[in-house]
Amino acid sequence: MAELAQEQLSFPVQRQNRTVAWVISFARRKPLSAIAAVILIAACALALLAPVVTTHNPNIGNLGEHLQSPSMSHILGTDEQGRDEWTRIVYGARTSLAVGLGAAFVGTVIGSLFGLISGYVGGVLDMVIQRVMDAIMALPAIILLMVLATVLSPSLRNVTLAIAIFIIPSAARVVHGAVLSTKAQVYVEAARSVGATPGRVMLRHILPNVMAPIIIVMSITVGAAIIIEAALGFLGLSVAPPTATWGNMLNAGASSAMESAPWLALAPGIAIGVTVFSVNILGDGLRDVLDPRLRGKGH
Amino acid sequence: MRGYAIRRGFAALIVVILVSVFVFIMMHLLPGDALLVKLGQTGRIPPDRMAALREQMGLNQPLYEQYFRWVGDIFNGSMGHSLIFDGQTVSGRIGDALPITLELGVLGLLAGVVLGVPIGILSAVYQDRPIDYGLRVFSLTGLSLPQFWIGLIVIIYGTRYLGYSPPTNYTGLTTDPIQNLKDMWIPALILGYGLSASTARMMRSTVLEAFHEDYVRTARAKGLAGSRVVYRHVLRNAVIPVITLVGNQTAYIFSGALILEILFGFPGLGQLTYTAILQRDYTQVEGNALVTGGIVVGINLLVDLSYGWIDPRIRYV
């Protein structure tokens, strides 16, 4: 609380310094997480700079050059349609990271909202929301997404939203738990006794104090979302081709090409592995630093 | 305890009903029409015949009537008829496919526990030493790679360099158990690898926590050997979190098994759902989703109820 008050009083310049100082102290305490963060920033930079760092068209290939092994002109080789694999990995990073970050963000925000309301209001509403979340959680992700992927047209937005639905219940559950313990604090009682409305109590007094678990859930689910996109791509249910996503590049339909050109399977998987591994390491570091109560519960 | 079991069972029932409503609504938002797929296979059919077929398949009735008819079918055990395959009930086809998925899931779970528990204990015992870091990287890698991709790499590189060949024809457990396990062990191991990460994490932190408990300190103080302390005092108390984890992971295990099955060509529930979705076989997909959802809810219920039996200190309110 003291920190919060100080932050509100400080000038913008000082606040910026505080952020920098926080980042530096985080990097000192969690060097591995800092390295992971750098890798993720690099991946995002590559994705944003895709046209600069690639030399070929990601979607139109030269059929005369199909299934070439890695060489100077195609550093990761070419696929069955003669498209440059490196170019597709970089453009694939755009869609896969967009789906991963987007789904984690949307899912966590909606889930947190449900968790906040059901935890604070309690009673029948709480029970209804919790049971609905249980029902979504009971369906294995693949079944839920196979069904959704067929209902929705395979656009970037729809794939992101479908994966977000799967993230909502885990966020709701975590936030629900955090709200229950925060609700019992004296300062919440104090706020209520001076006549603050439920909305104000939730947003001004409870939300800032459950931000840590929210940020942690958001960071960890990015990895899960990227892996789910890959699984959808494998089944041919991700963003419609020819758009490059890491999942689409592993599509089962292309597995015959992968048998004669194994590098086609290797590159997207390694891209996914490095990204998700970094996300997980960063998430662990954030959890240790932001939420001392959870320390040691993971690893 | 009794009151708790009844309340908990009632909640589980409500969740299953909600799952059925979700699945039903989602499937009926689907574009396309099972009838057209069916006709695509049999050729052109005049419109009046089509209307008759529609009537016969019940596709004309209002949604709620279709829902209640479906619920009726669930209770008479058939779960309706496949819209695509004449004369086959949904439950019959699930009955053929489910054991394969369950076998893969159970083997994967076993592999996950067999890998994850020792990894977690070793990590905790050698906390912050190279062996701990090595094991944590190993298990975190399992969590960071898509399981189907590991399978894909095993198939591609295994056939190229190791003389491995993925199973071409599925052999049932009852037909030839040896051959069946030969086909199953690789996908099961892959599934277990993904699962071992979370098991090892949970195990590591539980063991670390237990090391600081008074009863462990007492055991050490009275001169018990280190390994004996771990076996007798630490492990017993680590069982509960691991069981909780297994309950929480049921849906995850299912997801992994479903997709590995498709990759390795086992005719299990994953394969069945995937083809049913491509064929717009509404009733089949509904049945599959309901059965998987029901199993997940059921296992979670059992896990919750088992706590009191495993640890008598736990009292239900």
A22-26, A80-84, B9-13, B267-271: least confidently modelled range: A80-84
Inter-chain contact B23–A297, Cβ cutoff 8 Å? Answer: no
Q: Please identify among residues 94-153 of chain B the ones whose CB lies closer than 8 Å to any CB of chain A.
A: 123, 136, 140-141, 143-146, 148-149, 152-153
Does position A6 have pLDDT exceeding 80, yes or no?
no
Angstrom distance (rounded) from CA B62 to CA A121: 36
Q: What pLDDT is stored for residue A41 in this prediction?
A: 92
- The residues near B289 (Cβ < 8 Å, ≥ 6 apart) are A139, A143, A144, A147, B19, B23, B273
Angstrom distance (rounded) from CA B270 to CA A202: 42
A141-151 vs B250-264: helix crossing angle, rounded to 10: 70
Does A67 fall in a domain? no
- What is the predicted ipTM? 0.83
Whose tokens are 């899931």? That residue is B105
Amino acid symbol at B297: V
CATH of the domain at A201: 1.10.3720.10
Inter-chain contact A140–B296, Cβ cutoff 8 Å? Answer: yes
Give A259 to chain B, closest Cα distance, Å.
6
Give B296 to chain A, closest Cα distance, Å.
6
Per residue in A92-112, pLDDT tens?
899 999 999 999 999 999 999
Out of B15, B30, B157, name the one closest to residue A138 (CB). Answer: B15
Inter-chain contact A140–B252, Cβ cutoff 8 Å? Answer: yes
- Test the A interface: residue of B101, B145, B244, B264 with most A CBs within 10 Å: B145
Does A127 fall in a domain? yes
Q: What pLDDT is stored for residue A298 in this prediction?
A: 40
Per residue in A114-126, pLDDT tens?
999 998 888 899 9
Q: What pLDDT is stored for residue A15 in this prediction?
A: 65
Q: Please identify among residues 47-86 of chain B the ones whose CB lies closer than 8 Å to any CB of chain A.
A: none
Angstrom distance (rounded) from CA A289 to CA A283: 10
- Measured in residues, chain B has a length of 317
Per residue in A45-67, pLDDT tens?
888 887 877 777 777 767 776 77
Angstrom distance (rounded) from CA B31 to CA A230: 24
Out of B143, B254, B277, name the one closest to residue A150 (CB). Answer: B277
Out of A142, A151, A269, name the one closest to residue B145 (CB). Answer: A269
Give B169 to chain A, closest Cα distance, Å.
18
What are the phi and psi torsion angles at B206 (to 5°)? Answer: -65, -45
Tell me the residues of A at the B interface, defined by beta carbons under 8 Å apart.
Answer: 131-132, 134-144, 146-148, 150-151, 223, 227, 230-231, 234-235, 250, 252, 255, 258-259, 262, 265-266, 268-269, 272-273, 276-277, 279-281, 296-299
Inter-chain contact B296–A223, Cβ cutoff 8 Å? Answer: no
Considering only CB atoms, which chain B residues are within 8 Å of A168?
A: none
Out of B160, B208, B259, name the one closest to residue A231 (CB). Answer: B259
Does A248 fall in a domain? yes
Amino acid symbol at B208: L
- Test the A interface: residue of B13, B24, B148 with most A CBs within 10 Å: B148
Angstrom distance (rounded) from CA A109 to CA B68: 35
Which carries the bigger pLDDT value, residue A257 or residue A160? A160
Inter-chain contact B263–A252, Cβ cutoff 8 Å? Answer: yes
Does A167 fall in a domain? yes
Domains in chain B with CATH codes: 2-90 (no CATH), 96-310 (1.10.3720.10)
Q: How confident is the model at residue A295 (pLDDT cuts 50, 70, 90)?
A: very low
Average pLDDT over residues A165-185: 88
A118-142 as b/e, with b when 16 or more CB fall inside 10 Å? bbbeeeeebeebbebbbbbbbbbbb
Most confidently modeled range among A15-29, A214-228, A285-299, B297-311 = A214-228
Q: What dihedral do alpha carbons B134, B136, B137, B143 form, nearest 10°?
A: 150
Nearest CA in chain A to B17: A135
User: Quick one: CA dihedral B219, B220, B224, B227, positive or negative?
Assistant: positive
Angstrom distance (rounded) from CA A58 to CA B42: 41
Nearest CA in chain A to B139: A299
Does A65 fall in a domain? no
Which carries the bigger pLDDT value, residue B108 or residue A290? B108
Q: What dihedral do alpha carbons A37, A42, A43, A47 form, nearest 10°?
A: 140
- Test the B interface: residue of A146, A251, A274 with most B CBs within 10 Å: A146
Contact criterion met (CB below 8 Å) for B116 and B108: no
Does A186 fall in a domain? yes
Inter-chain contact B277–A146, Cβ cutoff 8 Å? Answer: yes
Amino acid symbol at B110: L
Provide the residue-wise pLDDT of chain B in tens; the chain has 317 residues.
677 888 888 889 999 999 888 888 877 766 555 555 555 555 556 666 667 766 766 666 777 887 888 888 888 777 777 766 777 787 888 888 888 899 999 999 999 888 988 898 888 888 888 888 888 888 888 889 999 899 888 888 887 777 777 776 777 777 777 777 878 888 999 999 988 888 888 888 888 877 777 777 787 777 777 777 777 777 777 777 777 777 778 888 888 888 898 888 888 898 898 888 877 777 788 888 889 999 989 888 888 887 767 666 665 54
Q: Does B23 touch chain A (CB under 8 A)?
A: yes
Q: How many domains does chain A have?
A: 1
Q: How confident is the model at residue A169 (pLDDT cuts 50, 70, 90)?
A: very high
Residue A60 burial (CB count, 10 A): 11
Q: Does B201 touch chain A (CB under 8 A)?
A: yes
Give A278 to chain B, closest Cα distance, Å.
9
Considering chain A, what percentage of its residues have pLDDT values greater than 70?
87
- Classified as helix, coil or strand, B198 is helix
- Test the A interface: residue of B201, B255, B269, B284 with most A CBs within 10 Å: B255
| Domain hosting residue A158, numbered range | 38-51+83-292
Amino acid symbol at B157: Y
Q: How confident is the model at residue A299 (pLDDT cuts 50, 70, 90)?
A: very low
Q: What pLDDT is stored for residue B121 in this prediction?
A: 86
Whose tokens are 């509403």? That residue is A125
Amino acid symbol at A145: L
Quote the DSSP letter at residue A58: S
Per residue in A210-259, pLDDT tens?
888 888 888 889 999 999 999 988 888 888 778 888 888 888 666 666 77
Q: What pLDDT is stored for residue A296 in this prediction?
A: 44
Angstrom distance (rounded) from CA A191 to CA A197: 9
Inter-chain contact B146–A131, Cβ cutoff 8 Å? Answer: no
Hey, which bits of chain A come out as E strands?
Answer: none
Q: Name the token pair of B104.
A: 């893969």
Q: What pLDDT is stored for residue B34 in this prediction?
A: 55
pTM here?
A: 0.84
